[in-house]
């Protein structure tokens, strides 16, 4: 900012000086101007052209000093940035490693969640299968009981039939005699 301000001041002063020189040259070139005015203008023009004002010199020196100061600040800033980057390099590597470890942990957590979900589904399916097995087992047990009861009835009926045959045979034999 300071350098830009000084540069504007120098440019403004040079433009003012150039305008004055142009006005003096116009006076010298104008044939209607009297000799006294021309002489005065010639004298001022010679002074303006030969004069390197103290103010302009001060501004130039100030600008040069500011420019050197700016260059030094820029150089120091670049050195500080490079030093900071060198100092941060190991920490950045550690950060990258930590980020990778965090990514793996998150991945494992997601996998664990999926595994837990699969185990829960398997447990649910196993419980459902156990319930179905129990129902089927009970149904088979009832049928077995019914079959056993039917067998007993059949055996009893056979025994009854066998006894009835024996009685019938005895009755037939008794009738024949």
Tens-digit pLDDT profile for residues 139-160:
999 999 999 999 999 999 999 9
Radius of gyration of the chain (CA): 60
Model pTM score: 0.35
Q: What is the pLDDT of residues 100-145, one digit of tens each?
A: 999 999 999 999 999 999 999 999 999 999 999 999 999 999 999 9
Residue 43 has pLDDT above 70, yes or no: yes
Q: For residues 165 and 76, what is the distance between their CA atoms, to the nearest angstrom?
A: 129
Q: For residues 9 and 66, what is the distance between their CA atoms, to the nearest angstrom?
A: 14
Angstrom CA distances, 117 to 4, 21, 108, 114, 130, stand at: 68, 92, 14, 5, 20
Residue 1 has pLDDT above 80, yes or no: no
Q: Provide the pLDDT confidence category of residue 10 given band limits of 50, 70 and 90.
A: confident
Q: Return the structure tokens found at 67.
A: 């420019």
Residue 101 is predicted with a pLDDT of 95
């Amino acid at each position: 900012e300071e350098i830009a301000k000084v540069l504007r001041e120098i440019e403004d002063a040079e433009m003012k000086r150039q305008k004055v020189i142009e006005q003096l040259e116009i006076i010298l070139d104008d044939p209607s101007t009297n000799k006294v005015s021309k002489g005065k203008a010639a004298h001022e023009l010679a002074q303006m052209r030969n004069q390197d004002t103290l103010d302009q010199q001060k501004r130039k020196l100030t600008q040069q000093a500011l420019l050197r100061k700016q260059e030094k600040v820029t150089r120091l800033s670049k050195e500080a940035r490079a030093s900071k980057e060198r100092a941060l390099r190991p920490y950045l590597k550690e950060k990258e490693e930590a980020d990778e470890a965090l990514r793996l942990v998150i991945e494992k957590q997601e996998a664990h969640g999926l595994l837990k979900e699969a185990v829960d589904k398997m447990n649910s399916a196993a419980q459902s299968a156990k319930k179905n097995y129990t129902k089927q087992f009970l149904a088979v047990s009832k049928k077995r009981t019914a079959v056993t009861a039917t067998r007993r009835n059949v055996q009893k009926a056979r025994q009854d039939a066998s006894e009835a045959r024996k009685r019938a045979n005895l009755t037939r034999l008794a009738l024949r005699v």
